[in-house]
Amino acid sequence: MTEMLKNLIGGEWKTGGNASKDVNPSNTNDVVNEYAQGTVADLNAAVAAAKAAFPAWSRTTGQERYEILKKAADEVLARREELGKLLSREEGKTLPEGIGEATRAGQILAFFAGECVRLGGEMIPSIRPGVGVEVTREAVGVVGLITPWNFPIAIPAWKIAPALAYGNCVVIKPADLTPACAWALVDILNRAGLPKGVLNLVMGRGSTVGQALLEHKDVSAISFTGSVATGRKVAAACVASTPMKKVQLEMGGKNPLVVLDDADLATAVDCAVNGAYFSTGQRCTASSRLIVQAGIHDRFVAATIDKLKALVVDDALKQGTHIGPVVDKSQLDTDLEYIKIAQSEGAKLAWGGELLNRQTPGFYLQPALFTETTNAMRISREEVFGPVANVIRVKDYDEALAVANDTEFGLSAGICTSSLKHATHFKRNSEAGMVMVNLPTAGVDYHVPFGGRKGSSYGPREQGTYAREFYTTVKTAYSFAK
Ligand code: UN1
């Protein structure tokens, strides 16, 4: 049974131009929902509603905002199994992964509920006698959020929650492919007591709704997660608009996982398989370059292949599935194209890479592992965003570090080693925003900063208390009393 999901504009659920179908990648005969595709007029109405709501909302007390976010957090956590199922059905990650992500969304809302009453400022003595200086933080205004399909509930939550906690009004445009989870989250927040217009949802295409959001003069800031190519356009549009918009971009990765000879083999294999293939490899934090020292190389490759052989690739909702389908036909074509490119460059396909047939029509791809690759190959340089990883053999730690850093990305980097010396050196010298020792590069905590360097991120960090850098603006107030 399908249900038409509508856009939330100024506190009212409204249909848009066309209806579009949200299809289950595990079974393309299963339509999760139909949803209203917003128009530019819908977007303009949403921004106008957000602008009108801002003066009152930004002056609410932290306690008022706390109550709403806490109530929403409680509902998300109470419904996490159902929301996790919806997520797995529309996006294709496994049910445990879907429930895990829904839980994370609830935890994020609870964390930022607390932040509503924790935001402080500073008092600094002036250099002039009798003068005091107060540094405070205020909401930025109307914030536009553009979110990707791969974390359809967690990423909307980690952008919406701090935006609201710090007193901003929001217009969110979730990914066209996976609007159902964002819709459910917005519905929960709306019913938790947000005043009309504070949170608006406009679903639809990036080229129409997304572009209009980027160009709207009443939007003060844009937070975007997606590809580097789109991120660059987002930043350019934010700078081109008058007034210029504040911008935060989370983009791709080509994350290295270094495995040294002294690593615990089982830990290294677990980190590699989890980081590279779980969530079907569709994470910007995925470990796609496995940089392995010569002495452990063959044992590592053999043990990784053994582990991959035991993984069940099947319907995301089936019990026992380890890897769900690729999200859609277009992403599957990209994955297959990269498998061909790697082979044509001389990489050895050591395991997988085959299309699989299952009971239902879906986008099932066997995880692919390449060996005999170099860091110069396209498979080592470009983000695939699928269950594809390659092993690069190195002679020692110094070469491993150099290869790990030789990339235009810098989101997450991992090392598996039992050497304190190398782990410490790697944490200090990795050119990534997040470094993991004996842990997968993907799968992060919600209460600490998230973000990268170089081509992976632009602007302030997301998550934890660091989120306030983007969602607030600083005011410096001077006062004099005789
Ligand atoms: C994670 O690895 O836990 O789009 C989070 C992404 C990232 C989130 C990764 N922004 O894949």
CATH of the domain at 405: 3.40.309.10
Asked if residues 263 and 418 have their Cβ atoms less than 8 Å apart, the reply is yes
Residue closest to 33 by CA, chosen among 183, 160, 155: 183
> 476 lies in a domain?
no
- Considering the domain architecture, whether residues 222 and 356 belong to the same structural domain is answered as no
Q: Give me the domain span that covers residue 179.
A: 4-251
- Residue nearest to ligand 1 atom 10, measured at CA: 284
pLDDT per residue as tens digits for the range 365-385: 999 999 999 999 999 999 999
pLDDT per residue as tens digits for the range 25-61: 999 999 999 999 999 999 999 999 999 999 999 999 9
**Active-site residue 271, yes or no?**
no
- Considering the domain architecture, whether residues 246 and 288 belong to the same structural domain is answered as no
Lookup: tokens for 37: 């595709």
Average pLDDT of the segment spanning 425-437: 98
- Considering the domain architecture, whether residues 322 and 370 belong to the same structural domain is answered as yes
Strands 122-125 and 7-9: unpaired
Asked if residues 471 and 162 have their Cβ atoms less than 8 Å apart, the reply is yes
Catalytic annotation, pick one of 75, 101, 250, 383: 250
Probe target for ligand 1 pocket from 271, 450, 458, 462, with the most ligand atoms within 8 Å of CB: 450
Asked if residues 297 and 262 have their Cβ atoms less than 8 Å apart, the reply is no
Q: pTM above 0.85? A: yes
CATH of the domain at 35: 3.40.605.10
Pocket-forming residues, ligand 1, beta carbon under 6 Å: 148, 150-151, 225, 250, 283-285, 442-444
In this prediction, what percent of the chain has a pLDDT beyond 70?
Answer: 99
70 CA to centre of ligand 1 in angstroms: 24
Probe target for ligand 1 pocket from 147, 155, 385, with the most ligand atoms within 8 Å of CB: 155
Task: Give the atom of ligand 1 at the shortest distance from the alpha carbon of 151.
Answer: 4
285 CA to centre of ligand 1 in angstroms: 5
Task: Give the atom of ligand 1 at the shortest distance from the alpha carbon of 148.
Answer: 4
The terminus-to-terminus CA distance of the chain in angstroms comes to 72
- Residue nearest to ligand 1 atom 7, measured at CA: 284
Identify the pLDDT of residue 82.
Answer: 98
Asked if residues 111 and 439 have their Cβ atoms less than 8 Å apart, the reply is no
Among 251, 278, 309, the domain-final residue is 251
- Considering the domain architecture, whether residues 247 and 323 belong to the same structural domain is answered as no
- Considering the domain architecture, whether residues 117 and 221 belong to the same structural domain is answered as yes
457 CA to centre of ligand 1 in angstroms: 12
**Active-site residue 469, yes or no?**
no
**Residue that has been written with the tokens 């139909």 in this structure:** 34
- Considering the domain architecture, whether residues 58 and 167 belong to the same structural domain is answered as yes
Task: Give the atom of ligand 1 at the shortest distance from the alpha carbon of 285.
Answer: 2
> 227 lies in a domain?
yes
Query: Could you give the 3-state DSSP secondary structure of residue 35?
Result: strand
Q: Where are the beta strands (DSSP E) in 335-401?
A: 348-351, 368-373, 388-394
- Residue nearest to ligand 1 atom 1, measured at CA: 443
Rounded CA gap, 307 and 322, in Å? 11
- Considering the domain architecture, whether residues 234 and 275 belong to the same structural domain is answered as no
pLDDT per residue as tens digits for the range 147-191: 999 999 999 999 999 999 999 999 999 999 999 999 999 999 999
185 CA to centre of ligand 1 in angstroms: 18
Residue 2 has pLDDT above 80, yes or no: no
- Considering the domain architecture, whether residues 236 and 261 belong to the same structural domain is answered as no
Residue 477 CB-half CA count within 13 A: 11
Mean pLDDT (the chain, rounded): 97
- Considering the domain architecture, whether residues 204 and 96 belong to the same structural domain is answered as yes
Strands 412-416 and 255-259: parallel
- Considering the domain architecture, whether residues 93 and 207 belong to the same structural domain is answered as yes
> 318 lies in a domain?
yes
Residue closest to 437 by CA, chosen among 450, 426, 448: 426
> 462 lies in a domain?
no
**β-bridge partners, 369:** 351, 389
**What's the length of the chain?**
482
- Considering the domain architecture, whether residues 15 and 150 belong to the same structural domain is answered as yes
> 468 lies in a domain?
no
Residue 275, H or E segment: helix 265-277
Query: Could you give the 3-state DSSP secondary structure of residue 34?
Result: strand
Lookup: tokens for 474: 């600083």
Q: Domain count for the chain, please give it.
A: 2
> 480 lies in a domain?
no
Rounded CA gap, 328 and 316, in Å? 13
Among 220, 235, 251, the domain-final residue is 251
pLDDT band at 1 (very low <50, low <70, confident <90, very high): very low
Q: What type of residue is 401? A: L
Q: What type of residue is 314? A: D
Catalytic annotation, pick one of 284, 383, 416, 462: 284
- Residue nearest to ligand 1 atom 4, measured at CA: 284
Asked if residues 437 and 427 have their Cβ atoms less than 8 Å apart, the reply is yes
Among 230, 251, 272, the domain-final residue is 251
Rounded CA gap, 449 and 426, in Å? 19
Rounded CA gap, 341 and 327, in Å? 21
> 239 lies in a domain?
yes
- Considering the domain architecture, whether residues 231 and 305 belong to the same structural domain is answered as no
Task: Give the atom of ligand 1 at the shortest distance from the alpha carbon of 284.
Answer: 11
> 467 lies in a domain?
no
385 CA to centre of ligand 1 in angstroms: 11
248 CA to centre of ligand 1 in angstroms: 15
